[in-house]
Amino acid sequence: MLSENIKAIQAELAPFSKVKLIAVTKTKPVAMLLEAYQAGLRDFGENKVQEMLPKYEALPKDIHWHLIGHLQTNKVKYIAPFVYLIHSVDSLKLLQEIDKQGKKFNRIINCLLQIYIAQEETKFGLSQEELIAILDSQELKNLKNICIKGLMGMASNTDNFDQVRQEFKNLKNIFDNIQQNYQSENIDLQEISMGMSGDYLLAIEQGSTMVRIGSKIFGSR
Ligand SMILES: *Cc1c(COP(=O)(O)O)cnc(C)c1O
């Protein structure tokens, strides 16, 4: 039962008041999202723009929509009117496009910068050097319609818990470093989005503030 899965995870997260649950709803039908909504969830994560749009149209408007997958610049305009947080920003060019679309819709769009922490070739994200280059850039200072709220990362898909823990620890270290050194009109570092169904307890242990959980709520895809 969906509502039982949700209750069990909420009970597990309850001691950690800073940790928000993002229900990852990709590939799941609107009826299931509605059931999760009725069980009390309001933060939904989708990895594709073309899948988020019809779900946004169909569902109540107090849902916070989180874009968690790779985002192409030419698709930003479709989600700019309503998206709550974009977790997967991995270039200055994408930030500039999000800012442009934010301006058009007269809103400030909250973003996380995705950092590459896994030892896998397939994952998107910035290196620490690329992250610093963006934060130091003159171009960033001109962007009035975005706000960088923190970092996102995905650990390696492995049973080696020590490795996963170390990858999350790395992300937390990077976060702590930049939090001390960067704070401005459009940089307000609060969130570390890390942890999925298989590793969210490890992520919380290492300082996650947002866990993105799909299969543990909705079943396997
Ligand atoms: C699918 C996905 C998740 C959720 O994965 P589960 O293992 O089903 O919890 C989290 N984050 C991202 C970026 C995803 O694409």
Identify the pLDDT of residue 1.
86
pLDDT range class, residue 119, cuts 50, 70, 90: confident
pLDDT range class, residue 192, cuts 50, 70, 90: very high
Q: Name the residue of 9, 20, 24, 51 whose CB sits within 8 Å of the most ligand 1 atoms, as the mutation to test its pocket.
A: 24
Identify the CATH number of the domain in which residue 59 sits: 3.20.20.10
Q: How many domains does the chain have?
A: 1
Query: Residues with beta carbon inside 6 Å of ligand 1?
Result: 24, 26, 47, 68-69, 154, 196-198, 212-216
Q: What are the tens digits of pLDDT across the range 60-104?
A: 999 999 999 999 999 999 999 999 999 999 999 999 999 999 999
Identify the pLDDT of residue 124.
83
> Span 167-182, mean pLDDT?
97
pTM over the 0.75 mark = yes
Q: What is the 3-state secondary structure (H, E, C) of the chain?
A: CHHHHHHHHHHHHCCCCCCEEEEECCCCCHHHHHHHHHCCCCEEEECCHHHHHHHHHHCCCCCEEEECCCCCHHHHHHHCCCCCEEEEECCHHHHHHHHHHHHHCCCCEEEEEEECCCCCCCCCCECHHHHHHHHHCHHHHCCCCEEEEEEEECCCCCCCHHHHHHHHHHHHHHHHHHHHHCCECCEEEEEEECCCCCCHHHHHHCCCCEEEECHHHHCCC
pLDDT range class, residue 123, cuts 50, 70, 90: low
Query: 47 CA distance to ligand 1 centroid (A)?
Result: 8
pLDDT range class, residue 120, cuts 50, 70, 90: confident
Query: 159 CA distance to ligand 1 centroid (A)?
Result: 16
In ligand 1, the atom with minimum distance to the C-alpha of 218 is 8
Mean pLDDT estimate for the chain: 97
Going by alpha carbons, the residue nearest to atom 11 of ligand 1 is 212
In ligand 1, the atom with minimum distance to the C-alpha of 22 is 10
